Structures are given as structure tokens and as C-alpha cells.
Structure 1
Amino acid sequence: MRIVASAGGAVALALAVVPMTPVQAASLNPDNGNDRIACSTSALTNAIDGALAADGGTIELARDCRYVLTSALPSIDVPVTLRGGKGTSIERSVLAGTSQFRIFEVDGSAGFLTLDDLTVRNGDSPENGGAVLVRSGRTLLLKSVTLTRNQATGHGGAVANEGGRVILRDSRVEKNSAGGDGGGIHTSGGVVSVDSSAVDQNRATGNGGGVASSDDGYVTATHSSVDKNEAVGGNGGGIDNGGTADIQSTGVTGNRAGGDGGGIHNTGTLVVGRSSIIKNTAANGGGIHNTGLLWIGRSVVKENVADADGGGGLSNEGEATVESSDITGNETGAGGLGGGVLNSDGNTVLTDSTVTRNQATDGGGIYKTAGAVTLNRTRVKDNVPNNCSSLTTPVAGCVG
């Protein structure tokens, strides 16, 4: 894995990811030809069984219908599309005595589940994946779908991806929770693609309130939001990245972590382009906490708070490159260091950027405890109580 940044700020990712070719489901309604199936759980189950027996198909669900389940639906091991409409939902019953179960599992030799224009809610898995579990090599495609109020005792309050592929288009993953990592989505290896979608208001007891990626997972987010998620006892209020993440034209706003990285916690490789990291809170690294490889370009890191240690905007212990970006209005709690940037180890290089109006107990703009901070055509000014400070050698090119 490497990041290559040109002088103009363009970024190319050399990714060791083998693309999976989508398998399209044949047009088929197992019960009623091209008509929508009845609004009943038995009709839904029978339709899925029929599609599985036919090696795939498209099922047209009833509009203005709640399919309320008391047990899990059949496992999807061939290409199946469930197409809803206005007011269509598939949900686990919340009546007392209903057992724990996730709504969908995508498995088998050719599992490919497409959900289109519907809501999936109230899944409750005693393991991983409250709404959907995606096995290795399998695919989940969400188009205009909302996954909400699902929960998992383990990882992935809404979706757990165990080495497959998860694609969100114009969809929402909101108000889900996990007892482990990934309040909204957890990926262990595999690929997660979030396009024009929202991962908001999810909660994890561990890491990654919105999204958690481990074991070389690959996550992309484009024209999306990751807002108001919480990692209660861990890192990465919005995103916890242990693999490769590429965040483009996306807002990461109002997230909170009990540990490091209110907006994003990165131990792998992270690219942030044309994005905003705003008003996130953590003990250390209010906006971003990095111990891996980080590139930020044409972005804003603004009004984040490190309420215990330091690095209101960015806390770096790895290799961080910031180009054509603004780090402004960030702060630390009492005794905190580095309102804008705290470099505790490794190297931070800022080029054609600004570090302004940040606040800390010392090093209002930048504080260096170890490693190196390099300023190239970067303005560090109007920070409180000073622009730069250091435990070791001064930050070259920074005054006051």
C-alpha cells in the first residue's frame, strides 16, 4: 500500500483489492409474475424460498406494508433483489418474547442481496450484524434503503461484513448500536463503499461509532455524511480505520469517542480529500488521531475538541501530510497541548495550509513532543496562547 501525492495535490491509491464482479438477478417474482406480493410475512418468506429455488430473482414487495418477522428470513445464497416502495419495511417484531435474530444473512457460493427502496429495522443479533451479515466473497447492495434501530451484541449494529462487499447508494444507516465495534457498519477485510449516503447517530460500545474497519478492510465514502456517532469506550467516534479508507467530499461532523479520534481514528492508511472534519470530540485527537499513514488535502479540520490530552484538530503519532487545508478553531481541555496539531511521534508535514485561531494550554497552534513538524508555505497565526511550542527543538519557521 502506498500513497502518491503530486505537487498539485492529486492522490492515487495503489490498492491490493481484487474487484468482485456484480451478479445481476434475473427478473422474477416467484408468487405472482410481475405483481407485488401480498403484505404478509408468509408471502415474503414463500417468495424468497421461490427465488432461491429458481437460482435467483426479483421480488416486488407491497407498498405501505410492514413485514413484521418473528424469525429470521432464509439465508440468501443466490442473487436476490427485494424491491419495495413508499412505506415498505421489513422488521423484527418488538413484542415481548420475540427471540434475537438478524434479518438477513448473505452466504453460500453465489449470495448477492440487493435491497431497493425499503426500510429494515429492529434486527437484534446475539452475534454480529444486527440487520445483515455478509459472508466472505458475497455482496450486499443497498439502493435508497434505510437501516435503523438494529443492534448486535457483537460487531456491526446494522451490517457486519466478513470479507465480502457492501455498497450503499442514496441510503441511510442510522440509530443502530453494537456491543462491540462498528455501531453502524463493521467490516473485517472486504470492501465497504458509501456513496451519497449517511451513516449517522449510531453507537458502539467499542471502536467506530459509525464505521469500524479491521483486518485490511477497504472503506470509501463519497458525497456522504458520517455525523453524530459515538464510540462510547473506544476510538473513532465517526470512523475507526485499521485498513485503508478513502474519504472524499464527505462531512464527518459532531461525532464523539471516549478514547482517541473523535471524528476519525486511523491506524492504517487514510486519505481525506475535499472533506470537512468539524465539531468532533475525543480525549485525544478531537478531529483525527493518526498512528498510521495519513494524507489530508483541500479539506477543513475545524472546531474539534480534545477534552483530556491534546491535538484538538489533529493528533499525530505516525506519518501525516496536510496539503491546501485549514486547521482552525480547534481546542483542548485544561492542560491539553496542541490546539491545532499535536505531534507526539513520527512526522507531520503541512504544505500550503493554515493553522489559525486554535487554543490550548500550550502550543495553541502546534505542539511537538517528539518527531518532526515541517512547514512549507503554511501560515500559523492567531492561536492562543502561542502559535507553536515544543518539548524538544523548536518548530522551524513558526514564530511565537
Structure 2
Amino acid sequence: MSRRHVSAVLGLVAGALVAVPAPAAHAAAVQVRCSVPDLIAAIGAANGSPGPDTLQLARGCTYKLTAPDPESPGNGLPVITSEITIDGRGATIRRDERGHKVPKFRILLVGPTGDLTLTRTTISGGFATDCPAFPDPPGLACGGGISNTGRMSVTRSKISGNTSKSDVFAQGGGIDSPGTATVSESEVTGNQVVYSGSDLGGGAAGGAIVNDGPLTLTASRLTGNTATVTKDTQSFAFGAGLISFAETTVKDTVISDNRSFAPGGFARAALSNGIPEPGRLTVTGGAVTDNTSDAPHGFAQGGGIANNALMTVSDVKISANRAIAKNGTARGGGVRMGPIGTLDLTDSQITGNTVEAPGGTAQGGGIDNPDGGMLTAKRNKVLRNTATAKDGTAQGGGLFHAGGAEGLGTTTLEENAIQHNRAGDGGGIFKGSGVLTLNGDVVRANQPNNCSPTGTVPGCTD
């Protein structure tokens, strides 16, 4: 954020003290009446003025947008190009969907030179038709509510009921942020990201938020968001809550009741991580709960968390998440590791998660590390997780581990409690291959057994 600097000069002229100039005062906040033309004019004026500007919206007003900005038709309001604070004071900025002739556009775009602080404001009804940060290939859609390519801070606000939809690739139903962003004490709810194409291998990512730039998410709620893809296109629906492709920090945040749906494709967890090294997704406190990944005749890969990069999770409640794949493969009801993932999981609760694959394969009700990832888990409670597959194969109610194609995957456990989990085989732990070690862990009271195959997990007894 830019700042004004006023230099103070102290000197003597003809034996007298020269007064130090007072710092220049910031311009008074602009009061914006409950009028869309007034809001548009206020943003335009703020973009054109030097220094930061604050716009105070009318309390409780709903600013109903019925047409896109003439200069940036993908957006409802003028692009934010300078340092602007929008203090909504409980106001809503909404694309008015009641008329069939209302075109589709997102609500806000923060341009590369923009610096937006959004507080006490609801952003709703936006519909992305383009992808400002990634215009090639054409047809991508990013950021149904907000697209941030500059700097942005969202506080005590609500981003709800926005859509990003494309027949090429869609991301960020609520927020897409290739820039630098913080979101705190806010709710991102009821947004959707949709791949509507017919080509194989399309994708819908980040029902609530997609992060392609540094992001800090604090004391917020990501709830009731969805990611869906066209049936039988072998496409990917992932991160219905949050997908991160750049450095991300999540603190004391609840990610719940989100759903990824990919019939005949790949449905991946509500919180998904694919950050290239050396970036990391760090999650501390909060909860990942009651999320669903559903891929009938396909692959459900993680109900709560899916990691295929560097990730740290500590003091998080990961509970009641589901990975479901009728006549397919369901893995990692709570946590799923990818082949190049590295995860440090500590002091967390992985409880009551399920994998279900009627007529298929279900593995890792609580935690799944099947393809060569590196998992270190310390002082966690892995309790009452289940793997079920009527007329199929169900293994590893608490944990499923395999070393991957090259047998290099490792799971290192220390002082965890793995109890009261259930599966067809390996109620506590099922080890397929690779290296799995126990160090002071309690593995007991699992059904039908604690560890399987017998003798493959040193230190585990039935």
C-alpha cells in the first residue's frame, strides 16, 4: 500500500525558528448515495485523484448493477486502478439477475496498479466471462465476484452467490486472486465454478477462492460453495472451498459444506494444494468439515484436504468429510496425499471421515497416502473414520499407505491415536507398500483389525 511521506525541516533563519509544516491531511471520505451512477462516478473520480481515497456507501443500500462498465465489459464497475477503500457500512453491490436481458459480468476487477480495501460490503450475483490475468487461451473465466490482479484486502465482508463458468476452464467462483490479497473476518458462501465444455480434461477450480498470488486468509468462513464439471469428460472439479497455486496462509478459518462433483472424472477436496516449490500452504487452527467430493464412475481424491505440494497443517479439526465414487475409486475421506506431496500434520483431529465406493475401491477413510507422497504425522487423533465398498474393496479405515509406482512414499507416525476406525480390511492401518513407521502411536480398537496385512507394520498388533 502506498504512503505519503512529509519531510520535516528544522532550521534557523535570521535567528528565528522556522515552523515545521504539518503533514498533509487525507481527503475526507466521499459519501456515496444509494445510486449506481453515483458509485460508478465515485470510483472513476478516485481512480483519477492522487493519493488514497475512501468511499463510504449508503448504509444498508443494495446497489443493483444492470449493465457492465463500458470500458471494461467483463466487469460491472470501473476497474480499480489506484488506492481505494470501499467502506460498505452493510451495503450490497449486486448484479441484478431479475431481468433476462441483464448481461453477465463480474462485480469488481482490481487492476495491476490497483489497491483495494473492501470492508463491511456484500458482493453478489457476479458472473465471470473472462480471465483478466490469463487472457490466453481465450474462453477462460476467472473470479465471478472479484478478480484481483493488484493488491486487495477484504475485511468483515461477504462474497456470495457468484459464478465462474466456462467451456474451456473456470476458476474462482467467488474470488480469483493472481495478485496479493488478504481476507479476514469474512464469509465466502454459495459461489460456484463450472466447467461446461465437452472436451476431455477440462477443469473447474476454486468454488470460493483461487489463489495464484500470495494470500492470507484469517478468521473467515468458506461454506456451501461448489465445483462441477461436465459428465463423462474425465475433467477435474477441485478445491470447492479453496485451491492454492501460490504461497497461502490460512488461520482460524472454517471450510465447510463445500462440494466437488465430477461424474466420470476427478473430484478433489474442498481444500486443495498445488503450489510449486518452494511455496507452501500453511493451515493453522479452524476446521475443514462436512465437505464432499463425489465422482460416480470416476475418482474422488480427498474429501477434506488434498495435497500435492508442500503443506503444513496444525491444530485443525478435519471431520465428517466424504469422498464418494460409486463404481469408481474413493480415497482419503479426511486427507489425501498426491505423488509429490509433502505434508507435516500435527496436533489435529481427523475424525468421522468416510470413503465410499459401492462396486469400486475405497481406501483411507481418515488419511490416504497411496502414490509416493511424504507424510509426517505427530500427536494427531485419527478416530472413527470408515472405508466402505459394498461389492468392492475397502482398505484402511484410519490410514491407507502405499509407496507409489517406485515404492518411495513414506509415512512417519509419532504419538498419534488411531482408534475406533473401520474398513473391510486394515481397520486402523492398511499398508500396501513403501515405508511406514510407528513411534509411540496407539493403534487399537479398530475393526476388523488394527493393521493389515499382518506383520507389515512393525509395532502394530491385533
TM-score (norm 2): 0.77
Determine if contact 1:67/1:89 at 8 Å carries over to the other structure.
Answer: yes
Determine if contact 1:322/1:350 at 8 Å carries over to the other structure.
Answer: yes
User: Is structure 2 residue 331 aligned with structure 1 residue 290?
Assistant: no
Task: From 189, 198, 207, give the equivalent of 2:221.
Answer: 198
Matched residue SS, 1:73: coil
Task: From 355, 379, 394, give the equivalent of 1:336.
Answer: 394
One-letter amino acid matched to 1:200:
T
How far apart are the structure 1 equivalents of 2:417 and 2:2? 47
User: Is structure 2 residue 370 aligned with structure 1 residue 367?
Assistant: no
Determine if contact 1:235/1:265 at 8 Å carries over to the other structure.
Answer: no
Show the counterpart of 1:173. Answer: 188
Work out the number of aligned pairs and report it: 367
Show the counterpart of 2:410. Answer: 347
Shift of 1:390: 2.8
Matched residue SS, 1:85: strand
Matched residue SS, 2:116: strand
How far apart are the structure 2 equivalents of 1:301 and 1:245? 18
How far apart are the structure 2 equivalents of 1:172 and 1:320? 31
Shift of 1:40: 0.3
Show the counterpart of 2:60. Answer: 64
Q: Hey, which bits of structure 1, 4+ residues long, moved more than 6 A?
A: 25-29
Distance 1:106 1:24, change over 3 A: farther
Per-residue CA deviations over 1:127-162 (Å, capped at 9, x if unaligned) read 110011112xx1111010000000101100011112
Distance 1:24 1:235, change over 3 A: farther
Show the counterpart of 1:148. Answer: 160
How far apart are the structure 1 equivalents of 2:26 and 2:96? 28
Per-residue CA deviations over 1:206-233 (Å, capped at 9, x if unaligned) read 111100123xx12211111001111112
Task: From 415, 436, 440, give the equivalent of 1:377.
Answer: 440
How far apart are the structure 2 equivalents of 1:27 and 1:132? 31
How far apart are the structure 1 equivalents of 2:322 and 2:256? 12
Matched residue SS, 1:84: strand
Show the counterpart of 1:209. Answer: 240
User: Is structure 2 residue 23 aligned with structure 1 residue 23?
Assistant: no
Matched residue SS, 1:45: helix
User: Is structure 2 residue 306 aligned with structure 1 residue 303?
Assistant: no
Per-residue CA deviations over 1:36-80 (Å, capped at 9, x if unaligned) read 211000000000001000034111111010011122111111111
Per-residue CA deviations over 1:173-192 (Å, capped at 9, x if unaligned) read 0110001110000123x122
Matched residue SS, 1:133: strand
Determine if contact 2:413/2:438 at 8 Å carries over to the other structure.
Answer: yes
Shift of 1:237: 2.9
Instruction: Give identity over the alignment, percent.
Output: 31
TM-score (norm 1): 0.89
Structure 2: give runs of 5+ residues left out of the alignment.
5-23, 69-75, 130-140, 195-203, 229-236, 295-299, 324-329, 404-408
Show the counterpart of 1:314. Answer: 367
Alignment of 1:63-102 (within 5 A): 63-70=59-66, 71=68, 72-86=76-90, 88-94=91-97, 95-102=99-106
Show the counterpart of 2:256. Answer: 227
Determine if contact 1:262/1:281 at 8 Å carries over to the other structure.
Answer: yes
Distance 1:343 1:231, change over 3 A: same
Structure 1: give runs of 5+ residues left out of the alignment.
1-21
Show the counterpart of 1:160. Answer: 176
Matched residue SS, 1:51: helix
Show the counterpart of 2:115. Answer: 112
Rg larger in 1 or in 2? Answer: 2
- What RMSD over aligned residues (CA atoms) do the two structures have, in Å? 1.6
